[in-house]
Structure 1
């Protein structure tokens, strides 16, 4: 995968995690200060239970127990200051702190167990993606190919973006797609699509027949309302044929910087929903000459939002792809995408750049 992105686990920002780890002690200190300032007339000691409660959110069992012990240590001198040291009210407060600490320790144990399980599932899914999504060739006939694949944030499940570029007796054929949904089910669906494409791209002479093979394969394996948006393309002498199944339209970038969205003449339904349409999509041809570039991408790119909720303006940023080396150009665009979001993406984002060069 491009830049090793697909196998990279994202973690929460260090600053945010550090703040959560210190929060229980800040709360205990704040309760102690408030109790001292309020004087013996007002009792804030029961609020010390907030310390172990917050500790269970980010810490382990031992850390939660330590925060509970600190809460009791703080409670004793404060109770003496308030004249409650040997009274029933203080005994109830200490028992409450112990009980909340025990419950928080259990909650921390269950949270850590769940996090380990989710991490293992994510590792399995990412390993499956690395096996499925083989490195694409950097050159194919008179094309130079660049790839960028950015994994989703750790808070999101692994996605189902897929791509492939193969040189066949019928010419260079390629696939880019996005499986509806996330998790291992999406990875499994992507495996069926890629397997069917790798066979059909060699066997079928016509692009619609390749699409029909993909539709038939998904019809056997998909259930419910799952679907896959995809583009199957075939490069000709000075043109490219696009078989669009409900996928975002690629961008054609001419050598002079003119950008054109290659919208299909007729909207096609995604793969897996073919039974709902009277006619299957028809391929349409677009001029693709020396110096031209075509950028294919998944919706994780154009649906990426910044802090203000604004979508990534891909068409406006496409001039970044004018660098001499296609991979360098695509890496620049990917960096701009990450800067726009201001952090990890919430959905996988795949981009495939084709640049036509003299044979």
Structure 2
């Protein structure tokens, strides 16, 4: 408005710049509150009156039309600011509910469970989203430390509801069932009761007991094992199996397979948002070649290094949610000195 006033005074009454003073309340209604818009509108109207008298425009209709323009834009800015503030308040309420839903759905996993140290990372593909279709959980039971990571087909509320069904069933079954196969069967039954159509969930179930880990893979990307000497390998299941929720198709359930999981080892579980992440040239993220980023003694810092490297590889937001779960077998500390 100051710039318009200076230009109007410098150019004279013939330039017809007076109506541009209404840009002040127009922009104020887009970025400020209604009170600020009202103050800016009043200032714009006062400036319009002052410049109109200075230029002698009130002897013509031009001065009154300029005042009407400023007043009209101010009223429109007030309405826009009020509506925007109401929408922002509603959005804040929805985000609060989403944060509560996330705490219920994706509860913080324990940092320590038995001999394991644990870290998780979750990145949503939707800006400002709190929850999505990826899921994870870790449960310390009398049968060992049991974990799940999964990816629900699709997005939106249906995916969130399906993830809630899987996690609820897993949290109960992980404590009750004596073996991992029975846990998977409980998940299948829970999905059969709640799912409709062709919804499915790819998932890996894990049970760490002693210096070994048993995996049950339902069509999910194979976890990556990193040895203390830096060697890496994928824990590929002996046979491919259909995802959870497709048992009605008559396919054989997955066969559990056991692998070494010794002190110093770490296993990284992840979802399609990591496995299928591509850069602008269409190259997949080379997770096995980035395993050296997990060298930090703190598993959370190590996992954050992978997350940041993945974001750099994508050079922008990903097209799918990306969840990662890191299980690290703690190396025994030195024996206590005898007194």
**Shared fold by TM > 0.5?**
yes
| Counterpart for residue 336 of structure 2 | none
Query: Where does the alignment leave 5 or more consecutive residues of structure 1 unmatched?
Result: 1-27
**Structure with the greater alpha carbon radius of gyration:** 2
- 1:345 Cα offset (Å): 9.0
Contact 2:165 2:191 in 1 (8 A): yes
1:176 pairs with 149, 172, 180, which one?
A: 149
| Counterpart for residue 337 of structure 2 | none
| Counterpart for residue 294 of structure 1 | 267
1:191 pairs with 155, 164, 169, which one?
A: 164
- 1:328 Cα offset (Å): 4.6
3-state SS, counterpart of residue 256 of structure 1: coil
Contact 2:25 2:74 in 1 (8 A): yes
| Counterpart for residue 177 of structure 2 | 204
1:148 pairs with 110, 120, 123, which one?
A: 120
Contact 1:158 1:183 in 2 (8 A): no
Q: 2: CA distance between counterparts of 1:257 and 1:186?
A: 37
Q: 1: CA distance between counterparts of 2:14 and 2:250?
A: 75
Contact 1:59 1:108 in 2 (8 A): yes
Query: Where does the alignment leave 5 or more consecutive residues of structure 2 unmatched?
Result: 333-339
Q: 1: CA distance between counterparts of 2:7 and 2:283?
A: 43
| Counterpart for residue 231 of structure 2 | 258
Q: 2: CA distance between counterparts of 1:310 and 1:350?
A: 20
Q: 2: CA distance between counterparts of 1:302 and 1:77?
A: 65
1:76 pairs with 38, 45, 49, which one?
A: 49
Cα distance change of structure 1 residues 32 and 211 upon mapping to structure 2, 3 Å threshold: farther
| Counterpart for residue 24 of structure 1 | none
| Counterpart for residue 166 of structure 1 | 139
2:17 pairs with 36, 44, 50, which one?
A: 44
3-state SS, counterpart of residue 257 of structure 1: coil
Cα distance change of structure 1 residues 153 and 275 upon mapping to structure 2, 3 Å threshold: closer
* TM-score, scaled to structure 1: 0.74
- 1:83 Cα offset (Å): 4.2
Contact 2:224 2:268 in 1 (8 A): yes
- 1:197 Cα offset (Å): 0.5
The range that moved more, 61-70 or 80-89, is 80-89
Q: 1: CA distance between counterparts of 2:113 and 2:7?
A: 71
- 1:175 Cα offset (Å): 0.9
| Counterpart for residue 88 of structure 1 | 61
Write the deviation string for residues 118-139 of structure 1: whole angstroms up to 9, x where unpaired. 2112112212322344443344
3-state SS, counterpart of residue 215 of structure 2: strand
Write the deviation string for residues 17-40 of structure 1: whole angstroms up to 9, x where unpaired. xxxxxxxxxxx3444444455543
Contact 2:109 2:120 in 1 (8 A): no
- 1:294 Cα offset (Å): 0.5
Q: How many residue pairs end up in the alignment?
A: 331
- 1:165 Cα offset (Å): 1.6
Cα distance change of structure 1 residues 54 and 228 upon mapping to structure 2, 3 Å threshold: farther
Answer yes or no: is 1:240 the counterpart of 2:197.
no
Q: 2: CA distance between counterparts of 1:181 and 1:336?
A: 26
- 1:237 Cα offset (Å): 4.5
- 1:61 Cα offset (Å): 0.9
3-state SS, counterpart of residue 58 of structure 2: coil
| Counterpart for residue 100 of structure 1 | 73
Q: 2: CA distance between counterparts of 1:183 and 1:158?
A: 11
- 1:196 Cα offset (Å): 0.2
